[in-house]
Amino acid sequence: MKLKILKSTIYGILGLIFTSGGIAGLVKPNLNVSNSDSLQHIPDSDVEMHQNLIHTTMELGAAIIPIGLLLIWCAIYYKGSRLNYFFLIFFMLFASIHWYEYLQGNRDLLSPLINSIPLVLVVLLFLIHRKVGSKSDHSQPSN
């Protein structure tokens, strides 16, 4: 029962973060793109690139919203869903992008560390679930 509450809490928090972040990227991409409110200060050659960046931020926001909603759904209706594997792969890819950029010198260390938190949480949930699951398998009488 405690494991279910822990999983629901973690999935719920991650779901709220990803859903609200996706909505912010979709509705207000300027919040996520630096200097986007001051297009007049950007050289003409960079305006199109900047507009493409805002467009891409909106598309990313639209893609992240369903992931957040799936996390919230799992928090409410969790029954050992196979979506856990999807989340594991998604968070691994999400974190690896930030680690790659850090290793290329394009980000501070804080960026990949923060973006690795969901991956670490999901891996910990898997490990706890395996440990608890294996204990309950051994405690049940065999037929």
Q: Quickly list DSSP for 12-68.
A: HHHHHHHHHHHHHHHH-GGGTSTTTT-GGGS-HHHHHHHHHHHHHHHHHHHHHHHHH
Residue 41 has a pLDDT of 61
Distance from chain centroid for Cα 8: 15
Q: How many residues does the chain have?
A: 143
Q: Which amino acid is at 63?
A: A
Domain ranges of the chain: 1-80, 82-138
Residue 40 has a pLDDT of 54
Q: What is the pLDDT along the chain (143 residues), one digit of tens a residue?
A: 788 888 899 999 999 999 999 999 999 888 777 655 555 566 666 777 778 888 888 999 999 999 999 999 989 987 766 788 889 999 999 999 999 999 999 889 999 999 999 999 999 988 887 787 666 544 444 44
pTM given for the model:
0.78
Residue 106 has a pLDDT of 86
- Tokens 């957040």 sit at which residue? 68
Which two structure tokens, joined as six digits, stand for 142?
């065999």
Burial class of 134 by CB neighbour count within 10 A (0 to 12, 13 to 18, 19+): exposed
